[in-house]
Amino acid sequence: MKMIVRAVSGTIAAALLAVGAQAADAPKPDAAKPAATVPKPADPHASPPYLAVVNGKVISSSDFDAATREAIRQKFYHGTPPEGEVEQLVRDVANDMIERRLLAEEIKRREMKPDAKAVDEKIAAYEKRYASSARWQQERAQILPALRERLEEDDMLAALEAKTRNVPQPPQDKVLAYYKKHPEKFTEPEKMRISLLLLTVDPSAPTSAWEAAETEAGALQLKLTEGGADFAQLAKEHSRHESAETGGDLGYMHRGMLPEGIQEKIDGMKPGDLSPPTRVLQGIALFRYEALQPPKHHDFETVKSRAGDLLKRDLSDEAWRNLNEQLRKKAKIELNTARYPALAKKGPVATK
């Protein structure tokens, strides 16, 4: 299930976060950055304190606000979110909470049962993690029942998703049709074979060190272009890159594997070309464009196993999406757009 945030009840969330804050590995907020907050309604008293009513059951504002704050913290970590992104995140969290409520109803309708052993193991992990926390020891009796209920629901939701996604292996005729419909998935992009000669310079070295390396690289360039020297031999003798042992051969690389700035330089070259001395992070480099391997479309027999796996994955995603859409269509959902105007804008949150 794609859940941006776990919609833990306010009491459990507050207690666990308080305990977590005492853990040795708890992240420390950056005091220099303002904490991002949930957008507040113009008049919070002008509308009831709820996010939505789903099939007659209320999702409270306190739960939604806590979940949204946690989602903002995880995504932006106390930084100032880019304009407009918080509203989208509000819609995403609302969508996830509504989806979870509908799926919880579905597991109840199917009379599913949690894996008690798996839940006990997770409870034990919490006990171990917070064993040294005085706050946990003081409040565990209050926290554990609701935490167990939450973990049991998580377990059943995971089982529902796994069962829904467990589609049969598609037949070969469907796999072949998928292969023909998506040629781009079975085509290797073009590759460039590049060789490198690197004269290393410490990034903090004085300007004179960089100038000396550029002069040396220029002399090596002349040996290659006018003296007919062998690039591989010079790389073995002068390069300080790990590729020196193989004469500077970096092998075939897809577009984008080279650092930004270097790729643009290679794009302006053709096989056989030698670059001028080029400054990179590690020093001064000479690149030689050895060869170009054009895109290669693989025949069906070579990739049919992968094609079958990709199609099955797509069918699995479709089955899960269809279940959620069916639950939405049958549901009665009332959104509190007066309190949360972002929910009235275009987005994934659907109402009926």
Torsion of CA 59, 63, 69, 72, to 10 degrees: -40
Is residue 50 helix, strand or coil? Answer: strand
Q: What pLDDT digit, counting tens, does each position of 97-127 carry?
A: 999 999 999 999 999 999 999 999 999 999 9
β-strand partners of 293: 191
Beta-carbon contacts of 315 under 8 Å, excluding residues fewer than 6 positions away, are 167, 170
Checking phi first, is residue 261 left (phi over 0); if not, alpha (psi -120 to 50) or beta? Answer: left
Over range 257-278, report the average pLDDT.
Answer: 86
How close are the terminal C-alpha atoms of the chain, in Å? Answer: 23
In this structure, the chain runs to a length of 352
H helix runs in 166-261, sequence order: 172-181, 207-225, 231-238
- 138 CB-contact burial (10 Å; exposed 0-12 / middle 13-18 / buried 19+): exposed
Of 189, 194, 188, 190, give the one whose Cα is nearest residue 258: 194
Is residue 251 helix, strand or coil? Answer: strand
Q: CA distances (Å), 190 to each of 21, 32, 200, 253, 256, in order?
A: 50, 46, 30, 8, 11
Q: Residue 258: what pLDDT?
A: 79
Beta-carbon contacts of 263 under 8 Å, excluding residues fewer than 6 positions away, are 255, 256
Describe the crossing of helices 300-330 and 134-165 by its angle, rounded to 10 degrees. Answer: 110
Is residue 93 within 8 A of residue 3, CB to CB? The reply is no
Tally of CB atoms within 10 A around 280: 15
Q: Residue 184: what pLDDT?
A: 95
Q: Residue 22: what pLDDT?
A: 39
β-strand partners of 40: none
Q: What pLDDT digit, counting tens, does each position of 2-41 carry?
A: 443 344 444 444 445 444 443 333 333 343 444 445 555 5
Over range 200-221, report the average pLDDT.
Answer: 95
Backbone angles phi, psi at 188, to 5 degrees: -70, 130
> Is residue 176 predicted with pLDDT exceeding 90?
yes
Cα dihedral across residues 233, 236, 237, 241: positive or negative? positive
Q: Residue 44: what pLDDT?
A: 54
